[in-house]
Structure 1
Amino acid sequence: MDQTNHTLTIERIQKSTFVWFEENWIHDNELHNHRKGQLIYVEQGFQYLTVAGKMYLLPQNHVAWIPSGALHKTNSHSERIKLMVLFFDTPQFDSAQDQLFFSQVQLFSAPKVLREMILYCEKWSKLIEEDEHEKVFLGALLHELPYFAAQLLQLGITLPQENRLQAVLNHLHDHYTAAFTLDEIAMLSNLSLRTIERLFKKETGMTLAKYQQLLRIIKSLELLSTKQFTISQIAYKVGYKSVQAFTNSFYAVMKYRPSSFMMD
């Protein structure tokens, strides 16, 4: 995400805002950072972000704010990915609350008005020269961003640093559709049940069961974004035994139902 062409990099752009639209994004999957903050909007497909040791999924019609200077990388397994990325100089904050918002990674569903504003910015894509209309419009968008984030998503998975948990993580990621027992997990890691639970909660901030639930919802969002499967098919593909159980779990994480995502 560093280059607009072979010779121009984001860091060499002097203007305070910069718009970059890409029909079929090519990812370098390398950790990097920018002096500008960036707002990423996924118009089509889904995008994985890794920021400061945490992995996030950014579904279609959602946005992510990445603060300036944050070490991050992007990748996607979508066959097609359409992204709009808006870069901003560090904004002047009106309040401590706004300062906190822009200093952290933020993910949320883009309301229709925000989507339309972002898509309108395509007219300035890769424009190097200063444009007063662009500056004013993007400034207004940035100013309103905290107010658009009515429902922030918790779609981040902390990547544990504890080596003894690696076997547990690998098992959960490879077998997220299957029920697991704590005895089974203990055998994989050669740790006691109590130690596993304590370390896992300390490193990831969640229980094993909650981690598996989040994995299932993230995988379901990938499938939903393809528009190739029904909700019922997706429910069973990600390990739920009923559509109702899947819908309830999805709502608990996303705060809306999977049918709403498909209508987006």
Structure 2
Amino acid sequence: MNANDSIKIDELKKPYFVWFEENWVHDNVLHHHQKGQLVYVESGFQYITIEEKIYLLPQNHAVWIPPNAVHKTNSHSEKIKLMIMFAEISIQESFYQDVKVFSVPPVLKEMIKYAEKWSKLMTPDHHESLFLKALFNELPRFVEHSLTLHISLPKDKRLAKVIEYLHSHYRNEIKMEDLSDTALLSFRTLERIFKKETGLTLSKYQQMLRIIKSLEYLSSGNLTISETAYEVGYKSVQAYTRSFYSVMKFRPTDFIKTIQ
């Protein structure tokens, strides 16, 4: 099912809409809704682009997408169960104006699963509205720590081949100075433009790619922390753990606890 095509969300005459699917199919097209959107990954993982930034949504995590934010879904695991809820938001609280990716605590998880009873209900329902109003009003209190992990997509076309190379070779040792030939720029100019466009240095961008990819591997449950470390290019578990902590502010073992 594709919510963007088969149901016109903003045309529904109700403040909330619930849509759950076992295997969600996306069309990879940028779009937006007047309603805010909460996306919860019960199983699997999902990449999502919001306002030209790419986020990873691991298992048992959710993302809050503000009203009218331009977004699209990217690649995802082979099997994924998404729970999506749309809401008209009139509250001016700053929480609802920004993208939030967060681990879903047990109480919120049970509330989201309970809301499945209203999945694809097209007509207004008093009990649905009361329940979801309470859920969305309390959403800021459920979010203890928001994952700030994302990578920005540069607009400068001179960086296109550099980005492509980094995404294809992130696990390898890269001599960043060599990328200046790829961009046909001096290294100093490349580093300056890249930092301006993405907010990161070239080496920091590679680190972010490694950590994001490692979250994907850990979410799949197919690799151990040690195997994941080597898979994304680290020479030791210790080096991976240090790098992970510097980006995430918690350890890989802590992350695994959030997806179980």
What TM-score do the two structures reach when normalised by structure 2?
Answer: 0.93
Corresponding residue SS for 2:40:
strand
Give the match for residue 28 of structure 1: 27
Deviation at 1:231, TM superposition (A): 1.0
CA distance in 2, matches of 1:252, 1:35: 36
Deviation at 1:162, TM superposition (A): 0.8
CA distance in 1, matches of 2:126, 2:67: 23
Deviation at 1:164, TM superposition (A): 1.2
What TM-score do the two structures reach when normalised by structure 1?
Answer: 0.92
CA distance in 2, matches of 1:145, 1:254: 22
CA distance in 2, matches of 1:21, 1:134: 15
Letter in 1 for 2:3: Q
Give the match for residue 220 of structure 1: 214
The RMSD of aligned alpha carbons is 1.7
Q: Deviations over 1:71-99 (max 9, x none)?
A: 11113331101001110012323xxxx2x
CA distance in 2, matches of 1:213, 1:147: 31
Q: Deviations over 1:107-130 (max 9, x none)?
A: 111122222221121111111222
Task: Calculate percent identity across the aligned residue pairs.
Answer: 56
CA distance in 2, matches of 1:90, 1:2: 23
CA distance in 2, matches of 1:34, 1:82: 21
CA distance in 2, matches of 1:4, 1:211: 32
Report if aligned partners of 2:2, 2:26 keep a CA contact under 8 Å in 1. Answer: no
Report if aligned partners of 1:168, 1:185 keep a CA contact under 8 Å in 2. Answer: yes
CA distance in 1, matches of 2:198, 2:137: 32
CA distance in 1, matches of 2:247, 2:124: 41
Give the match for residue 121 of structure 2: 127
Give the match for residue 81 of structure 1: 80
Report if aligned partners of 1:154, 1:253 keep a CA contact under 8 Å in 2. Answer: no
Q: What is the correspondence of 1:1-264 to structure 2 with a 5 Å cutoff?
A: 3=3, 6=6, 8-93=7-92, 98=93, 100-263=94-257, 264=260
Deviation at 1:12, TM superposition (A): 2.4
Deviation at 1:25, TM superposition (A): 0.6
CA distance in 2, matches of 1:74, 1:249: 27
Distance 1:112 1:30, change over 3 A: same
Deviation at 1:208, TM superposition (A): 1.2
Structure 2 unmatched runs, 5+: none
CA distance in 2, matches of 1:133, 1:161: 45
Structure 1 residue runs of 4 or more that deviate by more than 6 Å after TM superposition: none
Corresponding residue SS for 2:140:
helix
CA distance in 2, matches of 1:135, 1:59: 28
CA distance in 1, matches of 2:155, 2:8: 32
Deviation at 1:5, TM superposition (A): 8.2
Structure 1 unmatched runs, 5+: none
Letter in 2 for 1:189: A
Deviation at 1:188, TM superposition (A): 1.8
Greater shift in the superposed pair: 23-32 or 136-145: 136-145
Letter in 2 for 1:178: N
Deviation at 1:14, TM superposition (A): 0.9
Letter in 2 for 1:141: L
Letter in 1 for 2:43: Q
Q: Deviations over 1:181-223 (max 9, x none)?
A: 2321222222112111111110001111211111011111111
